[in-house]
């Protein structure tokens, strides 16, 4: 039964077919009104993760089910281990607005895989199938709590994006990014109405458009782009 197979069940199936470099892939930030979407790809050395599955990574699962402290601990374990290979890809706000969030997410996943030191032989993807990947793949619904490699990727993507949004909060504290990380909370919507959108807001998302429309009606002469983030760069993972 699957529930008794452990979090390496999909990795073991790939290993049994001769695929040694198996990447778990996940993303963070599809839903927020601001900031990029971030994807991560993680490849574990087989002997290492089979030994550590029930030790260092025993509690590793979907990043949304972990506390911030747990995510940070696993993030540090992953990035500092020489037996773990990590790639990170970004879909920035202009790309999201030009294409759409799904296409930008797929591109960020492709970029994450491209950042690995060598192409993987197989990829385990959280959710639904992703086109244009450089290797065969398996899409797994709720994969971030069914595959250790995907769970690791979810932590890398989530922590990387959260740190990026915390940096953005230091430049624009009026929006409260450190608290909601760009999601459409009531406080964020109120800040959008009061201050307007900055360059890191996704204008293709309806709540942002709606607040800009309301502001334009209330004050048609107001400069909607009063805030800009110049030199906005994502933090390095390694």
* Complete edge-to-edge strand list for the sheet that includes strand 122-126: 84-91, 37-44, 22-28, 122-126, 137-140
Contact between 83 and 149 (Cβ < 8 Å): no
What is the tens place of the pLDDT at every residue in 206-218?
Answer: 999 999 999 988 8
Give the end-to-end CA distance of the chain in Å, rounded to a whole number.
38
In 3D, which of 67, 15, 72, 18 has the Cα closest to residue 44? 15
Is pLDDT at 220 greater than 90 in this prediction? Answer: no
Q: DSSP alpha helices (H): ranges in 53-143? A: 68-80, 93-98, 101-114
Contacts of 178 (CB under 8 A, 6+ apart): 165, 166, 169
What is the tens place of the pLDDT at every residue in 33-69?
Answer: 999 999 999 999 999 999 999 999 999 999 999 999 9
Give the global pTM. 0.90
How far are the Cα atoms of 37, 178, 198, 234 from residue 173, in angstroms, in the given order?
21, 8, 12, 18
Q: What span, in angstroms and rounded, lies between the C-alpha atoms of 42 and 27?
A: 12
Q: What span, in angstroms and rounded, lies between the C-alpha atoms of 17 and 20?
A: 9
Token digits for 45? 């050395």
Q: What is the mean pLDDT of residues 77-100?
A: 98
Token digits for 185? 């909370």
The pLDDT value recorded for residue 146 is: 97
Is pLDDT at 199 greater than 60 in this prediction? Answer: yes
């Amino acid at each position: 039964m699957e529930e008794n197979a452990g979090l390496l069940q999909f990795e073991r199936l790939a290993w049994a077919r001769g695929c040694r470099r198996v990447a778990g892939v996940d993303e963070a930030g599809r839903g927020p009104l601001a900031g990029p979407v971030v994807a991560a790809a993680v490849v574990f050395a087989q002997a290492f993760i089979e030994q550590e599955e029930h030790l260092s990574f025993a509690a590793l699962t979907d990043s949304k089910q972990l506390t911030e402290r747990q995510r940070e601990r696993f993030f540090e374990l992953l990035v500092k281990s020489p037996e773990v290979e990590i790639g990170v890809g970004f879909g920035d706000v202009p790309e999201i607005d030009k294409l759409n969030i799904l296409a930008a997410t797929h591109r960020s996943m492709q970029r994450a895989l491209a950042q690995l030191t060598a192409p993987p032989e197989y990829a385990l993807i959280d959710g639904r199938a992703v086109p244009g990947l450089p290797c065969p793949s398996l899409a797994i619904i709720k994969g971030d709590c069914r595959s250790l490699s995907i769970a690791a990727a979810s932590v890398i993507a989530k922590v990387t994006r959260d740190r990026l949004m915390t940096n953005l909060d230091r430049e624009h504290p009026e929006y409260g990014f450190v608290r909601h990380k760009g999601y459409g909370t009531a406080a964020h919507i109120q800040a959008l109405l009061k201050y307007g959108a900055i360059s890191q807001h996704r204008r293709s998302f309806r709540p942002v458009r709606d607040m800009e429309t309301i502001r334009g009606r209330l004050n048609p002469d107001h400069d909607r782009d009063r805030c800009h983030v110049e030199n906005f760069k994502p933090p390095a993972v390694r």
